[in-house]
């Protein structure tokens, strides 16, 4: 219901046919907690108490015996009646004329705020049943004004402009690379949106198009940012920053995109000598620490040193981070800077290869959860 | 899934250092989960999960006539089904080559009498014998399919119960076989010597077992060794690439060692699996 419809609810007094209903709503006013849908034990108990009191009062005032079951049904019927009358999609532009009791009930159930009551716009991942809005997928509810949608936990990546991604080159085409980013369609990295060796102002010639494979070839991993989204839903990426570009040695871990927490920073150098990129698309890149000075240079980041052998201690830390991330993802815990660090610290009592065992994975996830909860209590 | 040069280098250096991507050393397997008796309609079944590899094996029995050249022996047949759920590559006829390769390797691994004695499956010489159908369903493909399959088969055979034969009536050409009425009146199959397949991958100068999908990408050559107690029943090379003679013998020794270790672990696990009458299956 929008604000205009408030005016359309006419104040006209309608001959009172159902005075019993009016009486009922008047009593209900005191016990409106009954309408709360909350399942919190405290409120639940209160609801129960109020229902009993309400029945007593009802019997006294209306002089009619009624069971709890009957009463519930009666209230439900009244609610449906009001719902039907205030349903804008059904009534169209017609004036909505409500009885006194109907108006009272509408305010009681907070019909203007409740989505299922006031017929809000139904978003992705929801459906309607008996006038209620229900989720059709397991996930997180998201509300933008009156649009309610549920973001599924398990899904492919839905890109948004400006997000940081990790992707793998699948194909080299004319003027573009096709990149696997865990989206429904392969993303495109145009040659015009990469920094080629020689600086930003370099002109791109036909020769560059011919030598695209020298810069990035099939199988190469890149980090990039979503530049725009084409009409068919394909993501267009760019690497026009020194942070982005080809990735060197490291480990790629794949998790569900919804498990990556959206933060300002997705590049982290963790305190134990590991750099990670938490790509918004669910691809996590674990590498040796990235020094900021190394980023400078004129090659556009396309040259790699394959001779370098990563020292054992860093390798161990990387493997541990990998196993920790998988443990957290298996328990559906959000991945971000702090959670990875905490999980790493909690996992230190196990050897790296022990972290592959299912019971150990759960243990690490639980300990991490506990510590995160404690941190939250402390901060707020 | 192609890998970049840098990733391959990282894996290679890791194998050199005896510390792989997930923290294992070269000889270590990933944790496995084994469940037996998961298929109620089968005579024996097992479900094995090794990291992301998921294999379901069911054993079915039928009475058949033995081959004329081996009148004393029963029959054993392997059938592999690569479900398209495992990886999209298996869609259509995509998994057929792999399925045939796997079935052939298994058949030749079980051919030797030292590995699996088919003479026990004979009911009446030259006339009647048991035929074992071993159906293998690949539910998910996460690398190292051969090892996982062979372990699941061994567990399924261990789980298999062959009904006892009470009497055989011969009336001219007509042979009647009377099977015991009691469901529990069964015989177990001896799988003590059944082979275990070990895939050995050569990465750099070293050899690893239980490769993950990304490690499989960097191998220069891989080999499957089917080994039972101290004897090798089959060797086959996987994919392209070749091995030097010295490396081959080195691999064989290594494979036998791993197979023995794996076999011991499996037999111990199977002995510990208690027989329960709980409902089993995927929709528990």
Residue A182, chain B, CB below 8 Å: the answer is no
Residue A206 lies in a domain: no
- Domain match, A97 and A127 both: no
Q: Would you say residue A159 lies in a domain?
A: no
pLDDT at residue A4 in the model: 41
Contact A343, A365 (CB under 8 A): yes
The closest of A284, A301, A293, A294 to A241, measured between CA atoms, is A301
Based on the fold, state whether residues A101 and A130 are members of the same structural domain: no
Q: How far is A94 from chain B (nearest CA, A)?
A: 52
- CATH number of domain containing A146: 2.40.50.100
Residue A17 predicted with pLDDT over 60: no
pLDDT score for A5: 41
Residues A87, A136 share a domain:
no
pLDDT at A284 over 80: yes
Burial degree of B94 (CB within 10 A; 0-12, 13-18, 19+): middle
Instruction: Mark whether A74 and A136 lie in a shared domain.
Output: no
Do residue A63 and residue A139 come from a single domain? no
Domain that holds residue A69: 9-109
Burial A333-355 (b: 16+ CB within 10 A, else e): bebbbbbbbbbbebbeebebbeb
Shared-domain flag, residues A65 and A131: no
Q: What is the pLDDT of residues A49-104, one digit of tens each?
A: 888 887 887 777 777 777 778 877 887 888 777 777 776 555 556 666 777 777 77
Which residue from A370, A33, A318 is spatially nearest to B7, judged by alpha carbons? A318
Please list every residue in chain B whose beta carbon sits closer than 8 Å to the beta carbon of residue A182.
none
In a domain, residue A291? The reply is no
Residue A357 has pLDDT above 70, yes or no: yes
- Within 8 A of B2 by CB-CB distance, chain A residues are 168, 218-219
The answer as to whether A296 is a domain residue is no
What domains does chain B contain, in order, with CATH numbers?
5-274 (3.30.230.70)
Task: Say whether both A62 and A134 belong to one domain.
Answer: no
pLDDT of residue B136: 94
User: Quick one: A100 and A24 in the same domain?
Assistant: yes
* Burial zone of A84 (CB within 10 Å; 0-12 exposed, 13-18 middle, 19+ buried): exposed
pLDDT for A351 equals: 92
pTM higher than the cut 0.80: no
Q: Are A13 and A103 found together in one domain? A: yes
Least confident of A26-30, A258-262, A356-360, B179-183: A26-30
For the stretch B44-73, pLDDT in tens is: 999 999 888 899 999 999 988 889 888 888
How many domains, chain A?
Answer: 2
Indicate whether A257 belongs to any domain: no
Closest alpha carbon to B147 in B96, B83, B195: B195
Residue A269 pLDDT greater than 60, yes or no: yes
Q: Worst-scoring range by mean pLDDT, A259-268, A286-295, B65-74?
A: A286-295
Give CA–CA dist A343/A353, Å, rounded.
15
From B151, B197, B217, B196, select the one nearest B15 (Cα to Cα). Answer: B217
Please compute the mean of the pLDDT values over residues B270-284 and round it to a whole number.
Answer: 67
pLDDT of residue B86: 85
Q: Do B22 and A356 touch (CB under 8 A)?
A: yes
The encoded tokens of residue B181 equal 């009425």
Q: In the structure encoding, which two tokens stand for residue B53, read together?
A: 């590899």
Token pair belonging to B284: 């528990």
The reply to whether A18 and A60 lie within a common domain is yes
Q: What is the mean pLDDT of chain B?
A: 87
Cβ contacts below 8 Å, chain A against chain B, sum to 72
The answer to whether residue A4 sits within a structural domain is: no
Q: Please judge whether A315 and B17 are an interchain contact, meaning their C-beta atoms are less than 8 angstroms apart.
A: yes
Q: Residue A88 is inside which H or E element, if any?
A: helix A88-91
B51 at interface of A, judged by CB pairs closer than 8 A: yes
State the pLDDT at residue B35.
87
pLDDT of B21 strictly over 80: yes
């Amino acid at each position: 219901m929008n604000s205009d419809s408030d005016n359309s609810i006419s104040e006209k007094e309608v001959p009172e046919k159902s005075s019993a209903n009016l009486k009922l709503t008047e009593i209900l006013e005191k016990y409106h907690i009954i309408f709360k849908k909350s399942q919190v034990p405290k409120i639940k108990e209160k609801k129960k108490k109020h229902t009993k009191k309400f029945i007593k009062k009802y019997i006294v005032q209306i002089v009619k015996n009624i069971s709890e079951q009957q009463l519930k049904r009666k209230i439900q019927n009244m609610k449906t009646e009001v719902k039907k009358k205030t349903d804008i999609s059904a009534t169209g532009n017609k004036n909505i004329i409500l009885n006194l009791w109907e108006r009272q009930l509408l305010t009681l159930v907070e019909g203007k705020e409740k989505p299922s009551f006031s017929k809000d716009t139904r978003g992705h991942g929801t459906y309607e049943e008996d006038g209620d809005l229900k989720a059709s997928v397991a996930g997180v509810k998201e509300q933008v004004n009156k649009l309610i949608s549920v973001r599924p936990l398990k899904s492919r990546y839905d890109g948004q402009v400006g997000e940081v991604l990790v992707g793998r080159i699948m194909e080299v085409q004319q003027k573009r690379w096709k990149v696997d980013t865990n989206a429904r369609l392969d993303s495109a990295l145009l040659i015009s949106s990469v920094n080629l060796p020689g600086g930003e102002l370099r002109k791109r010639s036909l020769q560059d198009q011919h030598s695209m494979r020298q810069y990035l070839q099939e199988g190469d991993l890149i980090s990039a940012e979503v530049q725009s989204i084409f009409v068919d839903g394909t993501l267009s990426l760019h690497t026009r920053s020194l942070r982005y570009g080809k990735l060197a040695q490291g480990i790629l871990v794949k998790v569900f995109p919804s498990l990556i927490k959206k933060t300002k920073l997705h590049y982290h150098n963790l305190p134990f000598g590991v750099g990670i990129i938490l790509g918004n698309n669910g691809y996590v890149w674990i590498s040796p620490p990235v020094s900021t000075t190394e980023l400078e240079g004129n090659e556009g980041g396309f040259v790699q040193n394959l001779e370098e052998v990563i020292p054992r201690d860093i390798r161990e830390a990387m493997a541990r981070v990998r196993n920790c991330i998988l443990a957290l993802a298996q328990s559906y815990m959000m991945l971000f800077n702090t959670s990875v660090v905490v999980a790493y610290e909690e996992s230190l009592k196990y050897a790296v290869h022990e972290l592959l065992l299912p019971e150990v994975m759960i243990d690490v996830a639980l300990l991490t959860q506990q510590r995160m909860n404690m941190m939250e209590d402390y901060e707020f | 899934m192609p890998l970049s040069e840098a990733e391959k280098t990282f894996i290679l250096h890791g194998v050199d250092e005896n510390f792989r991507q997930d923290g294992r050393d070269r000889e270590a397997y990933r944790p496995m989960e084994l469940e037996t008796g998961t298929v109620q309609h089968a005579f024996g079944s097992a479900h094995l999960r090794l990291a992301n590899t998921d294999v379901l094996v069911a054993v079915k029995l039928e009475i058949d006539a033995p081959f004329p050249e081996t009148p004393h022996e029963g029959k054993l047949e392997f059938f592999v089904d690569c479900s398209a759920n495992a990886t999209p590559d298996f869609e259509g006829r995509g998994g057929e080559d792999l399925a045939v390769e796997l079935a052939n390797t298994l058949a030749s691994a079980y051919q030797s009498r030292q590995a699996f004695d088919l003479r026990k499956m004979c009911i009446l010489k030259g006339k009647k014998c048991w035929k074992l159908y071993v159906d293998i369903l690949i539910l998910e493909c996460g690398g190292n399919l051969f090892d996982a399959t062979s372990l699941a088969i061994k567990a399924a055979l261990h789980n298999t119960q062959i009904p006892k034969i009470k009497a055989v009536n011969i009336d001219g050409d007509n042979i009647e076989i009377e099977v015991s009425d009691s469901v529990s009146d069964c015989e177990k199959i001896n799988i003590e010597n059944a082979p275990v397949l070990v895939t050995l991958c050569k990465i750099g100068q070293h050899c690893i077992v239980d490769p993950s999908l990304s490690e499989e990408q960097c191998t220069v050559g891989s080999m499957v060794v089917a080994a039972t107690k101290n004897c090798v029943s089959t060797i086959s090379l996987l994919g392209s690439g070749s091995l030097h003679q010295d490396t081959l013998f080195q691999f064989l020794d290594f494979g036998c060692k791993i197979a023995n270790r794996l076999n011991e672990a499996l037999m111990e696990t199977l002995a510990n699996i208690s027989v329960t009458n709980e409902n089993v299956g995927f929709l528990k």
